[in-house]
Structure 1
């Protein structure tokens, strides 16, 4: 049957949305290619064998494209009958990454336009960020490298952060729903002051969950500031754009949070230094006033003492004028008569 199909049918290019994806232990990949039109739903069973997958890996990696659920692809296929059950499927032999990237870009622009229209694009950026946000709600895959890097960076800061972790899927089926539920839950916790959404690097299609409109709306309307570190230094996701703070990696996200706390510490230390300078300035001014007062007292003391000495000298001089000896030297005397009375006139003298 396959020989007949190979002889009668040439390779054809088909496009559609990737549905359920199964990656087998053998390295083969099986997925559904879905096309919906006028209410009708068509599904093709696609087989991507390991050898073809390996031959396409460099092209896919170069463009950041992979086979993941929810993206649209344009692929080259040939009909193939599965011998065990006689079902008809298609073997994939090539992929057009530009088709996928173009579709992703178009969807992205449409979603961003709707978010702006609804006033949600910069809503989370207007939420209140505490001066010292120590309570962190962390959304990531528990035990991942992203999780480890984030926690290590926080611990090395020496700051007493409190982290509430929500373990989620960060790619593939259900990732966007899982992350959205975690963000919504953490936003309700009183001890959570900001939410951090992180994951490691990946291809553009690996990160497709973070371009999901429903997730972006949850992040945009979150009552707590959302910090992201989704691990892609070239592109930003829609979730990055609507978040309070976008950072390139999980480590950079942790550093951004640490910087918020350190900025407050610097402000407090600066204020304390200003207060200390004010106190020192006041003390120095008081010391100058005391020194001036002491100098004035010393001058006053000298003036008072000199004045007193002058008066004493004057009184001493005046008293000396009444000294009998001095008076006698001047020819003055007090003469008494025989009756013991002071003679005040020459007529009284005999």
Structure 2
């Protein structure tokens, strides 16, 4: 008894303290796990019923996610079943308020539902509209984000159901419009829980191919529930993130999944998508023919207009008598030469007169002219200084006298001798 009482005191207090030597008993772990799980609050979940077994008033359901292959067991006790308006049916889309529960004897985790409601058409529309508004607020529907389609794509990516009417419509009508069009086809589920995952995977594969210039996602018409994958947030965001332009061709004109809003182009039907992605070869040939006719007409009009201009130029006087312009210019040159010669002769005559006048002035002022009139220049013989005052030449000074025809020497005599000689000479 003492050993049994001592046993529990050696059990680790927390899971982190356990070891091979000090493990937890399975019951302790199960009890703690149950306590931890059952602390989880109630949560509303949505899914589709794969199984619905009702026994003794209790319902044992299997719910699967609408987009991926995840499922959970859900138990609806008889007390809750009595409050439901309708019995759960396989294939129905429902929402349930559940709380996780761990059954200790088997360790089986299940969900106990305290409420179960079918998802009606109105509820789906409200949810889709709420999602549409949230995505629009993020700017995923902005026109500025939408890319133009190429005029003639090298290759068209097509995502659609296998052997579906939508696939045949797109391939047939596109080939009729442009026989050389090439397609890269990806067949996927277009409804059900696998549709979103397969379409997103195909979209990413085509978006990664350089040769694919445009991607078409096509599906025929159907009920709102059948078209729900094309309003999936995962698919919408994948289309918004794609670098290749995407065309949405879902259902009929009245169908409007959220994919239509985020796609770069919305086609009302798969057939309309085929008309939008490639041009019509007949129309293009007609446009080419019209362009050739317009070009031919423009060239002819240009040639005619230029011919008329040439004819007009040929009839002008300058073209009929091309030497006339030269004759006029030659006459101008002769007239200018005569004016230049006359002006030069007048200038030379005036210059000659001016030179003669200046020569006469220079000669009139020349010292030789003064000497010719009988004057003489008296200079001191010693230094050649001009004698201007008798005081500059005292008696006995030797002088050099320059006259018109040459020069001679003289000596200044005293005043008495000069007087005497003058008297005796007289």
- In structure 2, the CA distance between the partners of 1:31 and 1:172, relative to structure 1 (3 Å rule), is farther
**Correspondent of 2:300 among 280, 287, 305:** 280
Q: CA deviation at 1:287?
A: 2.1
Q: Tell me the residue number matched to 1:120.
A: 140
**Correspondent of 1:133 among 153, 178, 185:** 153
Range with greater deviation from structure 2 (280-289 or 141-150): 280-289
1:177 aligns with 2:197: yes
Deviations 1:34-74 (A, max 9, x none): 89xxxx983569446xxxxxxxxxxxxxxxxxx56xx4479
* Inter-partner Cα distance in structure 2 for 1:248 and 1:292: 61
The count of corresponding residues between Structure 1 and Structure 2 is 234
Q: Tell me the residue number matched to 1:213.
A: 233
* Inter-partner Cα distance in structure 2 for 1:300 and 1:123: 67
For the residue of structure 1 that corresponds to 2:243, the secondary structure is: coil
**Correspondent of 2:278 among 258, 265, 287:** 258
* Inter-partner Cα distance in structure 1 for 2:128 and 2:298: 55
Q: CA deviation at 1:153?
A: 0.3
Q: Tell me the residue number matched to 2:48.
A: 19
Does the CA-based 8 Å contact 1:134-1:160 persist in structure 2? Answer: no
Deviations 1:205-243 (A, max 9, x none): 001111100101111221111111111332200011111
For the residue of structure 1 that corresponds to 2:140, the secondary structure is: coil
* Inter-partner Cα distance in structure 2 for 1:242 and 1:33: 31
1:108 aligns with 2:140: no
- In structure 2, the CA distance between the partners of 1:158 and 1:260, relative to structure 1 (3 Å rule), is closer
For the residue of structure 1 that corresponds to 2:227, the secondary structure is: helix
Q: CA deviation at 1:122?
A: 3.0
Deviations 1:270-322 (A, max 9, x none): 7655544442322121222244356569x949xx9xxxxxxxxxxxxxxxxxx
1:292 aligns with 2:336: no
- In structure 2, the CA distance between the partners of 1:262 and 1:122, relative to structure 1 (3 Å rule), is farther
* Inter-partner Cα distance in structure 1 for 2:74 and 2:242: 38
For the residue of structure 1 that corresponds to 2:278, the secondary structure is: helix
* Inter-partner Cα distance in structure 1 for 2:258 and 2:129: 9
Q: Tell me the residue number matched to 1:199.
A: 219
Name which one, 1 or 2, has greater alpha-carbon Rg: 2
**Correspondent of 1:158 among 143, 168, 178:** 178
Mind listing any 5+ residue stretches in structure 2 that lack a counterpart? Answer: 1-43, 52-59, 66-71, 77-86, 97-116, 325-426
Does the CA-based 8 Å contact 1:194-1:225 persist in structure 2? Answer: yes
- In structure 2, the CA distance between the partners of 1:156 and 1:21, relative to structure 1 (3 Å rule), is farther
Range with greater deviation from structure 2 (278-287 or 257-266): 257-266
- In structure 2, the CA distance between the partners of 1:42 and 1:215, relative to structure 1 (3 Å rule), is same
Does the CA-based 8 Å contact 1:124-1:242 persist in structure 2? Answer: no
Q: Tell me the residue number matched to 2:346.
A: none
Does the CA-based 8 Å contact 1:125-1:243 persist in structure 2? Answer: no
Alpha-carbon RMSD? 3.9
Q: CA deviation at 1:132?
A: 2.0
Q: Tell me the residue number matched to 2:330.
A: none
Q: Tell me the residue number matched to 2:74.
A: 42
Does the CA-based 8 Å contact 2:249-2:269 persist in structure 1? Answer: yes
Range with greater deviation from structure 2 (266-275 or 174-183): 266-275
Output the TM-score relative to the length of structure 1: 0.56
**Correspondent of 1:188 among 186, 208, 215:** 208
For the residue of structure 1 that corresponds to 2:192, the secondary structure is: coil
Q: Tell me the residue number matched to 1:246.
A: 266
For the residue of structure 1 that corresponds to 2:277, the secondary structure is: helix
Q: Tell me the residue number matched to 1:313.
A: none
Output the TM-score relative to the length of structure 2: 0.47
* Inter-partner Cα distance in structure 2 for 1:121 and 1:43: 42
- In structure 2, the CA distance between the partners of 1:156 and 1:260, relative to structure 1 (3 Å rule), is closer
Q: CA deviation at 1:265?
A: 7.3
Does the CA-based 8 Å contact 1:220-1:242 persist in structure 2? Answer: yes
Higher relative contact order (CA 8 A, sep 6+): 1
Range with greater deviation from structure 2 (254-263 or 179-188): 254-263
Mind listing any 5+ residue stretches in structure 1 that lack a counterpart? Answer: 1-14, 23-29, 49-66, 75-94, 305-350
